[in-house]
Amino acid sequence: MIYDLAHGRTALLVVDVQREYFDPEGPAFVEHAADIVTNVNLLIDAFRAHGLPIVFMRHEHRADGSDAGRMGDFSAPDEEDSFVAGTPRVELIPELHARPADVVVVKRRYSSFLGTDLEAILRTAGVRAVVVCGLMTSFCCETTARDAHGRDYEVLFVADANEGPDLEDPQGRPVPHDVVLAATTTALGAGFAEIVTSAEVVARLKPA
């Protein structure tokens, strides 16, 4: 154990659990996205029960793509209609244990900190540690974890509450998500974040 969370100053960051990833007809569909919903909700319920901060991230862009920046360089043509502000698919999934009064941060980059008020929210709440879960593993979740580490937060990355797509290596060979997850957690665990399970996080939580 690296972080015991005994200080009671831990926040949960729920990254991009949006309809985009759960819609089989959508361009950003992630086949196994639903596999993590139970564990994400377990974390949400536990943080809420302890009175600890929960922040939901929601990724979106302008319809004309004018705010996509370099992210657009790596998007396939059929992905240009994804994460468009104001469309139903950018909303959080209804199965998520979110409430209307919960804090939602809109972001336009992989990092949940870049160009948002997330850090102001966390500093105002006196947060010392962040727990990262959601979608997608090696994109927004990993980037958020690395950025949080660089801002001197204690970072816990929840291996069984992160999900993403299968990828391709530079030679075009398929890389299953479980291999991507193993590589991501190996790299993060070597110096950026403690790799944990959702049950381990719940067991360590202390009231605010």
Residue carrying structure tokens 């193993």 = 182
Q: Dump the DSSP string for 139-164.
A: IIIHHHHHHHHHTT-EEEEEEEEEE-
Looking at residue 206, its pLDDT comes to 81
Looking at residue 79, its pLDDT comes to 66
Count CB atoms within 10 A of the CB of residue 68.
Answer: 16
- Report pTM: 0.97
Start-to-end CA span in the chain (Å): 21
pLDDT in tens, the chain (208 residues): 999 999 999 999 999 999 999 999 999 999 999 999 999 999 999 999 999 999 999 999 999 889 999 988 887 766 668 999 999 999 999 999 999 999 999 999 999 999 999 999 999 999 999 999 999 999 999 999 999 999 999 999 999 999 999 999 999 999 999 999 999 999 999 999 999 999 999 999 988 7
The domain spans of the chain are 10-204
Residue carrying structure tokens 């160009």 = 115
**Could you tell me which CATH number the domain at 10-204 has?**
3.40.50.850
